[in-house]
Amino acid sequence: MTTMLVALAAVASAQSTTSTPPPKTLAATMEVYVFPTEGQDAQQQSKDEAVCYDWAVQNTGTDPFELAKKAEQQKQQAEQAQAEIAQAGQGAGAKGAVGGAAAGALIGEIASDDAGKGAAYGAAAGAIVARRRTRRAKAEASEQVEQQSQQAQHATAEQIENFKKAFSVCLEAKDYMVKF
Amino acid sequence: MRKNGWLMILATVLLLMATTGAAEDLRGAEKILCAGVQATYCDTDGDCEIGMPWNWGMPQFVEIHLDEKMLRTTPAAERLRQTPIRTLERESGEIYLQGVENGRAFSFVIDEVSGVASIAIAAHGLTISVFGACTPIPTGE
């Protein structure tokens, strides 16, 4: 029984060894291509990349992994804000209809938010005005969120670009050829 | 109830039209009944919406009391609403009415022969134009 398990484990291990791609280096995860020009082995390269990563973090004040996390949070926040904006519009027409009521004059009540209680036309007018306002507010809010999100993405891309420059300089100083 | 009231008004208008013969002839009439047929609401954003006049709070029927210089809802309306007319002129077969109320300025141009009414209402940032038809209310109504 034990012999069989060991044999199975060996087969599984062999299979996993052949099918699993080689682990990505730190640089590769950031789409930075590094080639050792002085014949450094993989272990040395990994160590050098780790050192250069820290150096670049210190010099640029940017940590790409932290940035990625932050960007994901911002994306979620933007999505949430968009969802809230979309939800805010629901029922605005009805609210306008209830709120848009009061007694008054003939011409003076036309297209008024204060149209009379129980007056169907007042309610309808209130609802239309409310819908119109909500639609406009939603469009404005949505545009603002989109703009903020784009600004954040732009800033993040710039920071990463800067980080890669610093990371590359460090690796080049350690006799690696670097492209990104 | 509301639907019944509406039908009653419509029936009244039809009856008025039948009893007055040339229903649209408003010449000499002191009281006129007008119904808006179509309205266009526009705001400063350039958004315009076409709909029924009551969508924006205009009554289905408006009585124009030229003798009293007053716009008024019909007795069948859910509640009384009225607006005084500030200027009134009858000239070249047209009736011109103008007034101001609650920040809304209005102008009516009513053709005395055809009964066609062209109405404009303006408030800060919005305009409503309405086309409708008018018929005289027989004296004593």
**CB distance B78–A118 less than 8 Å?**
yes
Give exposure, A21-44, as e/b (b: 16+ Cβ within 10 Å): eeeebbbeebebebebeeebeeee
User: Nearest-CA distance from B22 to chain A in Å?
Assistant: 28
Whether the ipTM is more than 0.95: the answer is no
Does pLDDT of A86 surpass 60? yes
Q: Render pLDDT for B44-79 as a digit per residue (tens, 0 to 9).
A: 878 888 999 988 889 999 999 999 999 999 999 888
How far, in Å, CA of A161 to CA of B20, rounded?
85
Average pLDDT value over all residues in chain A: 75
Q: Which class would CATH give B2-136?
A: mainly beta
**How much is the pTM?**
0.48
pLDDT bin (cut points 50, 70, 90) of residue B35 is very high
**B125: contact with A, CB 8 A cutoff:** no
Which amino acid, A18? T
A110 vs chain B: nearest CA distance in angstroms?
5
Long-range CB pairs of B11-16 (<8 Å, 24+ gap) are: B12/B74, B12/B76, B13/B61, B13/B135, B16/B135, B16/B136, B16/B137, B16/B138, B16/B141
DSSP code of residue A116: P
HEC states along chain B? Answer: CHHHHHHHHHHHHHHHHHHCCCCCCCCCCCEEEEEEEEEEEEECCCCEEEECHHHHCCCCEEEEECCCCEEEECCCCCCCCEEECCEEEEECCEEEEEEEECCEEEEEEEECCCCEEEEEEEECCEEEEEEEEEEECCCCC
Residue among B2, B56, B72 whose CB faces A110 most closely: B56
C-beta of residue B88 within 8 angstroms of C-beta of residue B97:
yes
Q: Does A120 touch chain B (CB under 8 A)?
A: yes
Which residues of chain B from 17 to 56 reach within 8 Å of chain A, CB to CB?
A: 41, 43, 45, 47, 49, 51, 54-56
A124: contact with B, CB 8 A cutoff: yes
Tell me the pLDDT band of A50, cut-offs 50, 70 and 90.
very high
Distance spanning both ends of chain A, measured CA to CA: 52
Q: Give the closest-approach CA distance of A86 to chain B in angstroms.
A: 21
Identify all chain B residues contacting A103, using CB atoms and an 8 Å cutoff: 79
Report the residue from A105, A111, A115 with minimal CB separation from B128.
A111
- Is the pLDDT at A137 greater than 90? The verdict is no
So where are chain A's domains?
32-179
pLDDT at B107: 98
| Contact: B57, A121; criterion CB under 8 Å | yes
Nearest to A119 among B43, B79, B102 (CB): B79
pLDDT value at B5 more than 80: no
- Computed over every residue of chain B, the mean pLDDT equals 85
Chain segment B67-112, per-residue pLDDT in tens: 999 999 999 988 899 999 999 999 999 999 999 999 999 999 999 9
- The reported pLDDT for the residue numbered B69 is 95
